[in-house]
Structure 1
Amino acid sequence: TLPKLLESLGGAEFAGMTNQSIDEALQKAGISQKFINEMVIPVMRVNYGQTVNINAFVGAVSLTGSDSDLWAVEGGNKRVCSGLLYSAKAHVITGKVTSVGFKNRPQRNGKVSMFYEVNYETELGTDYSMYDVVVIAVPLRSGKPNITFQDFSLPGKNLLGQYQQTVSTLIHGRLNTSYFGYPDPRYFRSTTILTMEYADGFFLSVSASNPVELPTQMPTQARVWKVFSPEPLTKDQLGQLFTSYTTVHETKWSAYPRYSSRVAIPPIILHNHVYYLNAIEWAASAMEMSAISAKNIALLSFHRWYQRLDRINQDGLQQKLKSEL
């Protein structure tokens, strides 16, 4: 389970971070309200589009993103996915999954074989494939059943949740530095602009979208900027942020869960051999968290398939790992 996974990583205190807000946790640690308002809230807004009422675990994950010692993937994070598929020599079916059904079939020896029928749509039409194990690696959102489940019941508690909309807009243009208090753009050196909570704010952050090998650019030159906002930017708002621009590319998406200070964590196991990778998003949403969830499910499904149940939820695992290290 996800609570057990978090506990194995950092003990009961680690798992307990999902049951208090980052605001509460930081105040208990002696962090001033002024620092929280001016430094922590802007980081929460750029990373999760939310404020310090999110749980302390996802808040801590968000704060790590403010460190200077971060890595970037040249060519974009999508190369991690394509690289993993290539390395695993996976057979990829390009299509949209519509349903997962539980099937059983009598065998000649009197036993019953059980499997899952995955139905999907491709450019050539509808099709299906049979699998022993299914991993759902897409958010199951409340009110938007992107995948239906047939002939078996899902654990209803805490499964479907609300997701937070974020609009990512890439603009190639010249930033209006006067809007940020710099009439002369030559003196504007910032590449990332974060925001506090205020009533009239229409954007969460503005940042330069740079390649891994950063070329030298003058502030007066046109470049690509990335704006995060809760709603699509209007022409008037774009005009406030930029003196001129040539290209605007907007992506509106449900980027991450809508967090609260008390997390209702969905189950990892949805049925006998159906697993939910995105359950971990409700502790914290990040590419690294998805990788942890993927490895956990790979081990969990392997041990359950071969009935090695003593290897699941091992007591004292954290201490055992510390001793080995």
Structure 2
Amino acid sequence: MAVPVPIRCRTSLSLVVVLAALQIQSLAQETPAPPRKIAVVGAGIGGSAVAHFLQQQFGPQVQIDVYEKGSVGGRLATVTVNSQQYECGSSSIHSLNLHMQDFVKLLGLKHRREITGKSAIFNGEQLILEETDWYLLNLFRLWWHYGISLLRLQMWVEEVMEKFMRIYKYQAYGYAFSTVDELLRSLGGENFISMMQRSVSESLLELGVTQRFIDDVIAALLRTGYGQPVSIPAFAGAISLAAAQGNRWAVEGGNTLVCSELLKQTKANVIQAQVTEIELHSTEGKTLYQVKHQANDEHASDFYDMVIIATPLHQEKGNITFRNFDPAVGEGPGSYHHIVSSVIHGYLNASYFGFPDPKLFPFASILATDNPGLFFNSLDNICPVNVSAGFRRKQPQEAAVWKVLSQQPLDKQQLKTLFRSYYSVQTTEWLAYPQYGSSNTVPPIVLHDNLFYLSSIEWAASSVEMSAVAAKNVALLAYNRWFQHLDKIDQKDLMQKVKTEL
């Protein structure tokens, strides 16, 4: 027999149901729907990675359009020599680059088989430091010439990288930063901020690194990494010097595969066009961004809830006009550094480096010191992006493929200086990274409510992994701002917060 429910109890149950329904309705009204369409400007590693991370945050239902006026991959690019492809852009990735490591695993890519080779440093007249096949002998030579400068350098770089690596833990817990300064401060405190204002040479001299070591070794490494002198900011220098040490790897088939495969995996809609203008529209309390673009003299546009700019906003790079923004959005500060990558198939002139007999030339890489008379930054005997099991590096007397980095395109006399003869020269001119020291102002990350500038990070330091870190930060920042998760933005004492959440 059914037991009757008292009237008072029925009323209480009904009230609970009504209140629960009202609460659910209230929450539904307060929680905004995710963005329907997002535009990403640029399909380099930053643009490709941010498309991936945005989909992770907002879900597969969001439509992501990626605009690219050139080739997917940006500075991760290849050229073809004798039916084989070679890296003409960023050629190696450091083992500490965790986002890049994750991308390779996610996409089913492989590490390229490493072909080792020895290096030397050239001052314009002679080789001043030569690597051997014996690790202990190399260390002894460095100690003999420079004392404990190498040890002091390594300790400095390791300290910087240990603090920088905190970013991966912060990002794993969904924390984001609205400015580059806030990001750096969360990792290394005021020390990282001061490193943006002080030069590499000044910082290393204070640590007891000798001027000779800075002039011979540090200058050569920075000319290879950034094409710039030891007067660049210490933080950018530390990131570049970290990339020159330790284990490095590359992607089988070309590093640019990371970008193209990320976009495929994300199912992003890649639009081959140049973005010319972004116009702000506000209707019925909703903000939309009209992205105008051009391809083959044809003009078109589309509207987006959110826009991520993953290409530098500079006259010589971006050429994007912003309309109806208050305050106005314009070009970033400073300028970008001009670097030239020449891939040359030919016979090296080993006598220029002090080896009249080319068979005796033992080096695969030559780094140049900061000598005004030197017309190149580095010279590398490079391997194809697909290294077969039977591949061997060309002997010094054989025609090989070399990559020469220089400030200006090599003229015929300079080519003749470096090569006895050559079959082909393919030149790629890059505005690859900021001209450090041309501006002490770091551009903002947040340009408007849902308009973000990913490439702002490059003014702290520029590398493949810095772009990937910036991409993750922007995706988290966009997500947290959209859903008003303010407790996940610009938080202090994050190390303690993360330990508490563990």
TM-score exceeds 0.5: yes
Pair 1:290 & 2:467 matched: yes
2:189 match: 11
Shift of 1:119: 0.5
Alpha-carbon spacing, 1:301–1:235, altered in 2? closer, same or farther (3 Å): same
- Per the alignment, residue 236 of structure 1 pairs with 413
1:59-89: per-residue Cα shift (whole Å, max 9, x none)? 0111122224111122322111112111211
**Is 1:76–2:249 an aligned residue pair?**
no
CA distance change for structure 1 residues 175 and 75 in 2, over 3 Å: closer, same or farther? same
Q: Is the 8 A contact 1:166 1:255 kept in 2?
A: yes
Please show how residues 226-265 of structure 1 align to structure 2 within 5 Å.
Answer: 226-260=403-437, 263-265=440-442
Residues 120-156 of structure 1 deviation map (CA, whole Å, 9 limit, x = unaligned) = 1124721111111101111111566511101114567
Check the 8 A contact 2:338/2:429 in 1, yes or no. yes
CA distance in 2, matches of 1:185, 1:40: 28
Spell out the pairing of 1:46-57 with structure 2 (5 A cutoff).
Answer: 46-57=224-235
State the partner residue of 1:127: 300
Question: Percent of counterpart pairs with the same letter?
Answer: 45
Instruction: Tell me the distance in 2 between the aligned counterparts of 1:247 and 1:158.
Output: 38
For residue 14 of structure 1, report the CA deviation from its aligned partner. 2.6
> Secondary structure at 2:396's aligned position in 1?
coil
Give yes or no for contact 1:41–1:197 (8 Å, CA) kept in 2: yes
Could you tell me how far apart the structure 1 residues matched to 2:220 and 2:499 are? 35
Contact 1:170 1:249 (8 Å CA) reproduced: yes
Q: Name the SS of the counterpart of 2:289 in structure 1.
A: strand
Q: For the residues of structure 2 that align with 1:153 and 1:143, how far apart are their CA atoms?
A: 24
- The alignment of Structure 1 onto Structure 2 pairs a total of residues equal to 320
Instruction: Give the Cα–Cα distance (whole angstroms) in 1 for the partners of residues 271 and 438 of structure 2.
Output: 39
| TM-score, normalised by the number of residues in structure 1 | 0.93
Residue 62 of structure 1, aligned match among 240, 246, 271: 240
The residue correspondences of 1:24-173 to structure 2 (distance < 5 A) are: 24-106=202-284, 112-123=285-296, 125-142=298-315, 146-153=319-326, 159-173=332-346
Taking a change above 3 Å as real, the CA distance of residues 189 and 117 of structure 1, as seen in their structure-2 partners, is same
**Other structure's SS at 2:423 match:** strand
Question: Shift of the alpha carbon at 1:105?
Answer: 2.0
For residues 155 and 60 of structure 1, what CA distance do their matches in structure 2 show?
34
Q: Distance in 1 between matches of 2:190 and 2:330?
A: 23
Gaps of 5+ in 1: 107-111
Residue 46 of structure 2: aligned partner: none
CA change 1:99–1:218 in 2 (3 A) is: same
Alpha-carbon distance, 1:215 to partner: 1.9
More helix by percentage: 2
Work out the CA distance in 1 between the residues paired with 2:382 and 2:466: 24
Question: Which structure 2 residue ranges, 5 or more long, are not aligned?
Answer: 1-178
SS in 2 for 1:254: strand
Structure 1 contact 174–244 (Cα < 8 Å) conserved = yes
For the residues of structure 1 that align with 2:393 and 2:334, how far apart are their CA atoms? 44
SS at match of 2:476: helix
Contact 1:163 1:255 in 2 (8 A): yes
> Would the aligned equivalents of 1:22 and 1:55 in 2 still touch at CA under 8 Å?
yes
Partner SS for 1:321: helix
The residue correspondences of 1:157-306 to structure 2 (distance < 5 A) are 159-211=332-384, 213=387, 215-260=392-437, 263-306=440-483
| Larger-gyration structure (1/2) | 2
| 1:109 equivalent in structure 2 | none
Is contact 2:322-2:329 (8 Å) kept?
A: no
Check conservation: 1:116, 1:134, Cα contact below 8 A: yes
Deviation at 1:211, TM superposition (A): 3.1
SS of residue paired to 1:11: helix
The 3-state SS of whatever aligns with 1:65 is helix
Cα deviation per residue 1:179-198 (whole Å; 9 max; x = unaligned)? 11111111111111111122
The one-letter code matched in structure 2 to 1:102 is L
Structure 1 residues 272 and 222, CA gap change in structure 2 (3 angstroms): same
C-alpha change, 1:154 and 1:209, in structure 2 (3 Å) is: farther
Q: Given the superposition, is the C-alpha separation of residues 323 and 172 from structure 1 closer, same or farther in structure 2, using an over 3 Å criterion?
A: farther
Q: What is the SS of the residue equivalent to 1:149?
A: strand
1:55/1:262 contact within 8 Å kept: no
The letter of the residue matching 1:309 is L
What letter matches 1:202 in structure 2?
Answer: F
TM-score where L is the length of structure 2: 0.61
Cα separation, partners in 2 of 1:305 and 1:178, compared to 1, 3 Å: same
What is the Cα deviation at residue 6 of structure 1?
Answer: 1.3
Deviates more, 1:88-97 or 1:147-156: 147-156
Distance 1:154 1:246 in 2: 54
Structure 2 residue matching 1:84: 3-state secondary structure:
helix
What is the distance in 2 between the residues matched to 1:281 and 1:153?
25
Q: d(CA) in 1 for partners of 2:201 and 2:501?
A: 35
